[in-house]
Structure 1
Amino acid sequence: MDTVTLTAPDISCEHCQRAIEQAVGALPGVTSVTVHIEPKQVTVVFDPTAVSLERIKVVMEEEGYPVTAVTAGSAPR
């Protein structure tokens, strides 16, 4: 499993959180999605043999939350 943290500046509320968790969480190979409203980051745990990071980024953009930065590992709590 890989863990990445995606920064999406348009995350602002619980609606954003639910939309991202549902859309990204529905992808095959994604085992965990945690949205941090502040600092506008999403931590995703996924199987890279089942879904690519690029696909996750596309889904986030389709939901209206374009990704501006990607870092490996978990977001700060």
Structure 2
Amino acid sequence: MARTRLSIPDMSCGHCEVRIRKALLTLPGIRDLFVDLETRKVELDYDDSLLSADRIRQILAEEDYPVADIFPL
């Protein structure tokens, strides 16, 4: 398991949160997800044997939410 914090500057409203949740929660290996709109950060727990941080970054970029930084926790 891995825990990561993502900085997503373009995330600004409830609609953004719904799109990000939908995109990430459909991925195999995502265990838990917390979205903080105020800080524009997402914390997630995932199985790193099934999913990489780079793949998460790619999925969010495809949804027009580019990840500025990834912070392993």
TM-score by length of 2: 0.95
Match of 2:3 in 1: 3
The amino acid that maps onto 1:19 is: R
- Unaligned residue ranges in structure 2 (runs of 5+): none
How much has 1:64 moved relative to structure 2? 0.9
The amino acid that maps onto 1:30 is: I
Percent identity between the aligned chains? 34
After superposition, the CA RMSD in angstroms is 0.7
TM-score by length of 1: 0.90
The amino acid that maps onto 1:42 is: V
Runs of 4+ in 1 over 6 A off after TM superposition: none
How much has 1:14 moved relative to structure 2? 0.4
Match of 1:39 in 2: 39
Q: How many residues align?
A: 73
